[in-house]
A and B are shown apart, each in its own frame.
Chain A
């Protein structure tokens, strides 16, 4: 499943996400460091607005952040969401790209 991240003022990034992997896990594998804190679906640090696509939650995510603003399912938590279709999201916080120094290339496998 392809995941695309958008954030105002930066160029978007895309990466693949295996079935049942969370967007956070897939992003890490792709060298994209998301803004997270609890990594447990509770704090909302990783929240994003779903522009297109659908997700499911293998583990629970706090509804406080999912309903935020719209009262709908427009929001998601990337540390807990696993895409069920190609996914485009707009993240609340910018991400960092892992530097491609030789050592980090080796470490990222």
Chain B
């Protein structure tokens, strides 16, 4: 089976219009569509597909499901068989149930968050257009200069269970992990694409969402993003701009108007998603503060404790 990329996060928000303002004017996405159920679809500048974020009107914050693209329509049948055999319930989702998207298969991870695999996405094209475009991204559009939705981190009581499922059943590749003295996995970073993580699992309660990260072209753009967050008084983590020891990326975290965590970031290293090609980097738990926040060498208490 070939899952080729992390495509979108379908998020629950308590005020859709406030969320749209945030994802357009702070994050820098463009609104691409709306549907009859009040959902709003958005996409980043450098991705052609219909959406990378879906906003669902809801009473709670958190993730509704995570969308991953497969590289062949037949992968949906293969995934259905493999996930069912693993003992997790699979639902076939008809084309169009998620707007702009073909048929999909949906199932919960061992930690409870739902994943959707699908093959077809309608195309909206790049922000700069599909004919004779400008070679630089559009600096006149509002919000951060994000290029694409890059990865997400979810929380799990036993991250090792998710890792086992993702690597053994869905052919994800483990690039980095944090282990406790007994060898249990506390956090894990997995790829199905070409950089070191598409999906990461952190310590915390089952079925909760930690953050989604929007990629930027350079550290300079992240600095610009921090300025924007400060100017717009967006609640952000006290650390920032900073670096993660894990992957060494430049980063800042902030929150959407429903409290869902977002990240602006740049600089993940390349790692092929082919299973087993790159043996994982291992972090012992005592070094985790440096792995999490390289400059500060400490993890703020609320960082892993608080999730939506």
Q: Which A residues contact B (CB, under 8 angstroms)? A: 35-45, 59-64
Q: Write out the residue numbers on chain A whose beta carbons fall within 8 Å of the beta carbon of B15.
A: 59-60
Q: Write out the residue numbers on chain A whose beta carbons fall within 8 Å of the beta carbon of B141.
A: none
A64 close to B62 (CB less than 8 A): yes
Give the docked Cα–Cα distance between A37 and B304 (Å). Answer: 10
A45 close to B302 (CB less than 8 A): yes
- Report the nearest A residue to B260, measured CB to CB: A42
Q: Which B residues contact A (CB, under 8 angstroms)? A: 14-15, 59-62, 235, 255-261, 301-303, 305-308
A40 close to B259 (CB less than 8 A): yes
B59 close to A62 (CB less than 8 A): yes
A-B contacts, 19 listed (Cβ < 8 Å): A35-B301, A35-B302, A37-B306, A39-B235, A40-B61, A40-B256, A40-B259, A42-B60, A42-B61, A42-B255, A42-B256, A43-B306, A59-B15, A62-B60, A62-B61, A62-B62, A62-B259, A63-B59, A64-B59
B62 close to A41 (CB less than 8 A): no
- Report the nearest A residue to B302, measured CB to CB: A37
A62 close to B302 (CB less than 8 A): no
The residue from B61, B301, B305 contacting A64, defined by CB atoms under 8 A apart: B61
A38 close to B306 (CB less than 8 A): yes
Q: Write out the residue numbers on chain A whose beta carbons fall within 8 Å of the beta carbon of B257.
A: 40, 59
Most interface-central of A39, A42, A45 (chain B CB within 10 A): A42
Q: Write out the residue numbers on chain A whose beta carbons fall within 8 Å of the beta carbon of B260.
A: 38, 42
Q: Write out the residue numbers on chain A whose beta carbons fall within 8 Å of the beta carbon of B259.
A: 37-43, 62
User: DSSP class of A's interface residues: helix, strand, loop or mixed?
Assistant: loop
**A41-B258 contact given A62-B60, A62-B61, A64-B62, CB 8 Å threshold:** yes
B255 close to A62 (CB less than 8 A): no
A62 close to B235 (CB less than 8 A): no
The residue from A36, A40, A59, A63 contacting B60, defined by CB atoms under 8 A apart: A63
A60 close to B258 (CB less than 8 A): yes
Q: Write out the residue numbers on chain A whose beta carbons fall within 8 Å of the beta carbon of B303.
A: 37
- Report the nearest B residue to A65, measured CB to CB: B60
How many Å from the CB of B199 to the closest CB on chain A?
20
How many Å from the CB of B84 to the closest CB on chain A?
29
**A64-B261 contact given A40-B256, A45-B305, CB 8 Å threshold:** no
Q: Write out the residue numbers on chain A whose beta carbons fall within 8 Å of the beta carbon of B307.
A: 43
Q: Write out the residue numbers on chain B whose beta carbons fall within 8 Å of the beta carbon of A64.
A: 59-62, 308
Q: Write out the residue numbers on chain B whose beta carbons fall within 8 Å of the beta carbon of A43.
A: 61, 255, 259, 261, 302, 306-308
Give the docked Cα–Cα distance between A59 and B13 (Å). Answer: 12
Most interface-central of A37, A45, A59, A63 (chain B CB within 10 A): A37
